[in-house]
Amino acid sequence: MEKEAKITSKGQITVPLAIRRALGVQPGDTLLFESGKDGVRVRPVRTESRFARYRGIGNQDIGSGRKAIRRWVREMRER
C-alpha cells in the first residue's frame, strides 16, 4: 500500500485513513519512526497490549493467571 502525505511548515503530517487503519492507531496514539538501511519504518508505540481491553470479558468463573486456569481445567475434567 502506498499513500502520500504533505509535511506542513511546522513539520506535521496527516496520516492517511488507510494507513491509520492498517496500523490500528487512533487520535492520541504515538507513532515511532525507525531509520535503517532499507529506509524509514513507521510503527505504533504500544504502551499496553492491544488485547488488554478484552481481558476479563470471558468466563467469569475462571480467575486470572495460569494457576486459576489450570485449576478450572482440572475441575472441568473431574465432572
**pLDDT tens by residue, 30-70:** 999 999 999 999 999 987 777 777 776 776 677 778 888 88
Provide the number of structural domains found in the chain.
Answer: 2
Phi (first) and psi of residue 71, to 5 degrees: -60, -45
Phi (first) and psi of residue 52, to 5 degrees: -60, -35
User: What does the pLDDT read at residue 31?
Assistant: 94
Q: Give the structural domain span for 79.
A: 50-79
Q: Is 17 helix (H, G, I), strand (E, B) or coil?
A: helix
For residue 21 the three cell numbers come to 487503519
Closest CA to 63 of 51, 72, 53, 73: 72
Cα(33)–Cα(43) distance, integer angstroms: 7
Whether this model's pTM surpasses 0.75: no
Residues 14 and 29 in one domain: yes
**Given a cut of 90, is residue 6 above it in pLDDT?**
yes
Residues 19 and 42 in one domain: yes
User: What does the pLDDT read at residue 57?
Assistant: 72
Residues 2 and 36 in one domain: yes
